Amino acid sequence: MNGEKELELARERVIDAISKNMNLYGVTESIGRLYGAMYFQEGPLTLDEMKEELGMSKTSMSTSVRSLLELKMVGKVWKKGVRKDLYQAEPDWYQTFIDFFTIKWRAGISLNISAMQKSLSEIQSLVDNERVENHVKNQANLDIDKLTSAIEYYEWLNRLVDSFESKEIFEFIPKKTEKS
């Protein structure tokens, strides 16, 4: 017994777990399988090699790789003498999480702050308008308080994202803790 089968089964268990959890990253299980398979590769792969490894169509493989590139979970690699594009899984899961987290949260923060600031401006105009009834002004003032509080939250969330990008977060939550 040379252990190859056992090694393959152990890797497959991890690849299966990765693929099942990829919904956290907003991608399908098949994209998760691709990332998992690439993670265990010793070197970069071409689309053709990935297609052979996973049995996916070249179109599906290309789409999957593009998704992984956007999430920065896979990177393009250059190799002298190789004309085809080569791709390699990002081995640093901390960096993968940071990239994903910051991309997704920055987009969400921006969208929400923009909508809230526009609404705040419109609601403030209602409060300042002498022709608007008092009960509407009272509701508008309550909304201003709620939106102001929500914007403060998003400003805090922006600082949290900043701490991931600067890696300052690791000063508070180290990558690895010392064993007692």
Looking at residues 37-51, what average pLDDT do you find?
89
Looking at residues 113-133, what average pLDDT do you find?
96
Does 1.10.10.10 match the CATH number of domain 4-90? Answer: yes
Looking at residues 98-121, what average pLDDT do you find?
93
What's the pLDDT at 180?
46
What's the pLDDT at 1?
60
What's the pLDDT at 26?
79
Read off the pTM. 0.74
The band of 58, judged by pLDDT with boundaries at 50, 70 and 90, is confident
Looking at residues 145-152, what average pLDDT do you find?
97
Token pair 């907003």 is found at 26
Cross-strand pairs, 76: 87
pLDDT > 90: percent of the chain: 61
Neighbours of 161 (CB within 10 A): 20
The band of 50, judged by pLDDT with boundaries at 50, 70 and 90, is confident
CB environment 112-138: b (16+ within 10 A), e (fewer): ebeebeeebeebeebeeeeeeeeeebe
pLDDT at 2 over 60: yes
Q: Which of 25-29, 97-101, 146-150 is predicted with the least confidence, judged by mean pLDDT?
A: 25-29
The band of 178, judged by pLDDT with boundaries at 50, 70 and 90, is low
What's the pLDDT at 79?
83
